[in-house]
Structure 1
């Protein structure tokens, strides 16, 4: 297998674009080569098989969705209260919806995992690790709310993102904003004043 990391990343980004546009069934080495603008056969030199391409594309999506150090540091600025949690949820919706192809490709991978046990075996611990990391970050940062609140927010906000990306006219901008606010209001307890 080839080791040019920049080329590998470009091929994975092309695979993500193909997944988002064509679905898992449209993801072929040829389609990736065309999307990446490289000679035919290039993708097959980088990935052992289609399953390898699918799993590496999933890893690349998470790589690109991870907030950078500046974003993480900024998330802890100011008071650690319910309003901060709401702002973080709004930021999350904004960050993910700006990477539309990545999130749609991830949804395709999740659907494909229902048919491919090998892909499910890779995605399940990766997504569980993401949930656990979110819970641990929330709890260690001193934000209000327990692990259950974080998991419920994870589920609610993820589905709002699905609606925004797949059927954007179901909820307008104002209603989406209000739904995030109400979810936080109902799931996260009010902050107690410091003594």
Structure 2
């Protein structure tokens, strides 16, 4: 079984989930999205659970690669304005284009993980250079517990992204500024 075919199917499953929701995620729908003959997805992922596991694993791999790329190019954050600009760019990128679809799929998987703990284990936040940059910034600003504040800040940013995916609209600089300022207090 080709790893490339599995990746293609997992990417197609992400698109189906983002566009059609959990109920629309079927082996046949993934076959259609991937442009492959009927039965291909079930040949690689026999059960719905194995398809979901592959989808979540691929989603996490894509997210981690993106966050590593952001973190690797991110200079040390010197002030709140740089932090605000970085978070604004990240949240805006996640709300548009391919990032928006992945965000929709990620939230659907998070809800599904309530009933499937094995998915929760895969989805658990991981260390990456972008997360480290936020923690380093907060520590450099004298925040007393930079680890907890980083988690709180990123959770708030995640909530803002979720809100905009559900209700529509853009993420505004003032909103991100408020989150950063709260993390610094």
In our comparison, the structure showing a higher alpha carbon Rg is 1
Which residue number in structure 2 is paired with residue 12 of structure 1?
A: 10
TM-score (norm 2): 0.83
- What does 1:136-151 align with in structure 2 at a 5 Å threshold? 136-140=132-136, 143-144=140-141, 145=143, 146-151=146-151
| Whole-Å separation in 2 of the counterparts to 1:22 and 1:86 | 33
Question: Is 1:22 the equivalent of 2:20?
Answer: yes
Which residue number in structure 2 is paired with residue 55 of structure 1?
A: 53
**Which ranges of structure 1 fall in alignment gaps of 5 or more residues?**
190-195
Count, aligned residues: 177
When the two chains are superposed, the root-mean-square deviation of aligned CA atoms in Å is 2.3
Question: Is 1:168 the equivalent of 2:168?
Answer: yes
| Whole-Å separation in 2 of the counterparts to 1:183 and 1:129 | 19
Deviations 1:122-167 (A, max 9, x none): 32x334342x546545335765341122111111111111122221
Pair 1:76–1:161, CA change in 2 (3 A): same
Asked if structure 1 preserves the Cα contact closer than 8 Å seen for 2:60 and 2:123, the reply is: no
Moved over 6 A (4+): none
Asked if structure 1 preserves the Cα contact closer than 8 Å seen for 2:9 and 2:34, the reply is: yes
Asked if structure 1 preserves the Cα contact closer than 8 Å seen for 2:17 and 2:25, the reply is: yes
| Whole-Å separation in 2 of the counterparts to 1:121 and 1:180 | 33
CA positional deviation for 1:84: 2.4
**Which ranges of structure 2 fall in alignment gaps of 5 or more residues?**
none
